Amino acid sequence: MVRQLAKRGDKVIAACRNPSKATELQALKAVFVYAAVAQVEAIAPNGFDVLVNNAGISDDGAWTVPVDQTDLDELRTVFDTNVVAMSQKSVIANMSSILGSVTTMTQFGDTVGLPYRASKAAVNMVSVQFANLYGKQALIIFPLHPGWVQTDMGGSQAPLQPPESVSGMLNIIDNATPATNGKCMQWNGQTLGW
């Protein structure tokens, strides 16, 4: 996402969980990305037009643990990263997942992955709460599912390449209207059920 935003001329401020492992972000840093937090105000003195909250972790072992045996510390850790890391600005796209949708739950197996799934369902709830609270103030807030993407978490078996997912998400963000506020959107423009 950083690469596509920077190439089109947007000012990008990127952060990540583990900079030493973010080799692609480090490579882009020299070309596009301002690294110092102190520069945020200088770069965007009037605030941001778009904020993408892309917080998401999952313990791989949780996908084999039955729901009733979920480790509470794991649940808290995943919630802290996937839900608590939220903010508000003009357009806020909070990274969610189809796995947080209750209506599509049985499509992906309904007895494993509780920490990640519950945290993404909570991201949806938090997004809708903020959408309802700030939507009347010209803020557009919505959860956004990037699709199943070939990333560290998505794995090589995922059908989407990152550029395709990012392009779709940027199209949704760029074309967001008040009607988008509070809807759970997918990278391909479809609306997800709750």
Reported as type and span, the H/E element at residue 121 is helix 114-134
Is the same domain home to 130 and 173? Answer: yes
Residue 101 lies in a domain: yes
Q: Phi, psi at residue 27, to the nearest 5°?
A: -65, -40
| Digitized pLDDT (tens) for each residue of the chain, 194 residues in all | 778 887 877 777 776 667 777 777 777 766 655 555 456 667 666 666 666 666 566 776 767 777 778 788 887 777 766 665 444 337 889 989 998 888 877 776 666 688 888 999 999 999 999 999 888 777 899 999 999 999 888 889 999 999 999 999 999 998 898 899 999 999 999 998 87
Residue 62 lies in a domain: yes
Residue 33 lies in a domain: yes
How many C-beta atoms surround the C-beta of residue 38 within 10 A? 7
Residue 116 lies in a domain: yes
Is the same domain home to 154 and 81? Answer: yes
Tokens of 136: 């009347």
Residue 86 lies in a domain: yes
Is the same domain home to 108 and 125? Answer: yes
Is the same domain home to 107 and 164? Answer: yes
Is the same domain home to 131 and 173? Answer: yes
pLDDT at 113: 80
Is the same domain home to 39 and 55? Answer: no
Residue 35 lies in a domain: yes
**Residue where a domain terminates, one of 47, 63, 79:** 47
Is the same domain home to 21 and 101? Answer: no
Is the same domain home to 37 and 122? Answer: no
pLDDT at 87: 45
Evaluate whether 64 touches 112 at the Cβ level (below 8 Å). yes
Q: Using DSSP, state whether 12 is helix, strand or coil.
A: coil
Is the same domain home to 88 and 153? Answer: yes
Evaluate whether 124 touches 96 at the Cβ level (below 8 Å). yes
Residue 194 lies in a domain: no
Structural domain that includes position 107: 48-186
Q: Please tell me the total count of domains within the chain.
A: 2
Residue 30 lies in a domain: yes
- At 163, which CATH number? 3.40.50.720
Is the same domain home to 60 and 129? Answer: yes
Is the same domain home to 76 and 136? Answer: yes
Is the same domain home to 109 and 150? Answer: yes
